[in-house]
Chain A
């Protein structure tokens, strides 16, 4: 199992980041490197790539505030 993590250092610590959308659903098969989710900071979007190929398991719901290092989900 490989965790999908919120990256560090992409935005200032005092800025709110939200998990804007999952581009794949829970249980869907994804390939390593494809964008599985987007994080929104102000009106700037960041792509979250799949760290491995496999089945996506979602741990954080859309619109949730997220922090660097947080686990968003995993690839099994």
Chain B
């Protein structure tokens, strides 16, 4: 059970990012699929329109379609589910990540009209929103890759050289316009070491031998001194 301070920080961060957006508490594949529904919803909007979703998931691993096509996927999913961590599949990029209470997800979908959207551009609005939100809490994150982090990428949010949020995006064409969704998972509290252990066990069951460093990850509670 999380401490009152930890839950308060989740709510405080969500409000700092988007004061008018309630946190959705979700579970199952449905929680992941709502991001796809968000893209389809925004596709019907005029260029420039956007929708944000702030959500927190029950315990699960979330992986990509590419990994879901591996030969040993079904066995690895069964083993993870047996340990209390079901596995769901998302349509954005990256690799396997963890969702649980204490990891706050933010999804931002935007309609871009007839413009071509480059991968970098798909991250801009959400990263700006997250940086602004964190700055309101007195936190000044940097953006960049972190060696040894799981689901690493050049648009991680980092504190003191450790990853606190991973990001991924998806760019599609719908109804004559480009629509994109950028998603971030911010580690507010919890144990990165346990997260890595769960992800590593799942990946090893599929024959993947990625090595992750617990020291590459942190949480807001751990590093920002709340």
Beyond A9-B116, A10-B116, A11-B118, is A42–B93 a contact (Cβ under 8 Å)?
A: yes
**Closest-CB distance, A68 to chain B (whole angstroms):** 12
Bound: A74/B226 CA distance, A: 56
One of B13-21, B62-70, B101-109 at the interface: B62-70
Beyond A12-B118, A20-B93, is A44–B171 a contact (Cβ under 8 Å)?
A: yes
Within 8 A of B (CB), among A1-45: 9-12, 15, 20-23, 38, 40-45
Asked if residues B170 and A44 are in contact (CB atoms below 8 Å), the reply is yes
Beyond A9-B116, A12-B118, is A43–B66 a contact (Cβ under 8 Å)?
A: no
Asked if residues B66 and A21 are in contact (CB atoms below 8 Å), the reply is yes
Beyond A9-B116, A45-B93, is A21–B65 a contact (Cβ under 8 Å)?
A: yes
**Closest-CB distance, B152 to chain A (whole angstroms):** 9
Q: Which of B66, B153, B168, B172 contacts A47, CB < 8 Å?
A: B172
Bound: A13/B170 CA distance, A: 19
Bound: A45/B122 CA distance, A: 11
The CB with the most chain A CB atoms within 10 A, among B93, B94, B151, B170, is that of: B93
Q: Mark B141-173, 1 if CB is under 8 A from A, else 0.
A: 000000000010111000000000001111111
Beyond A44-B171, A45-B170, is A38–B66 a contact (Cβ under 8 Å)?
A: yes
Bound: A16/B59 CA distance, A: 33
Residue of B nearest to A8 (CB): B116
Subset of 22 A-B contacts with CB under 8 Å? A10-B116, A12-B118, A20-B93, A21-B64, A21-B65, A22-B69, A38-B65, A42-B119, A42-B155, A43-B93, A43-B151, A43-B153, A43-B155, A44-B122, A44-B171, A45-B91, A45-B169, A45-B170, A46-B170, A46-B172, A47-B172, A62-B66
Q: Which of B116, B154, B171 contacts A45, CB < 8 Å?
A: B171
Bound: A55/B169 CA distance, A: 30
Q: Give the 7 A-B CB pairs with smallest separation, nearest first.
A: A44-B119, A43-B93, A43-B153, A21-B66, A43-B168, A43-B94, A45-B93
Residue B92 at the A interface, CB < 8 A? yes
Q: What residues of chain A lie closer than 8 Å to B64, measured between beta carbons? A: 20-21
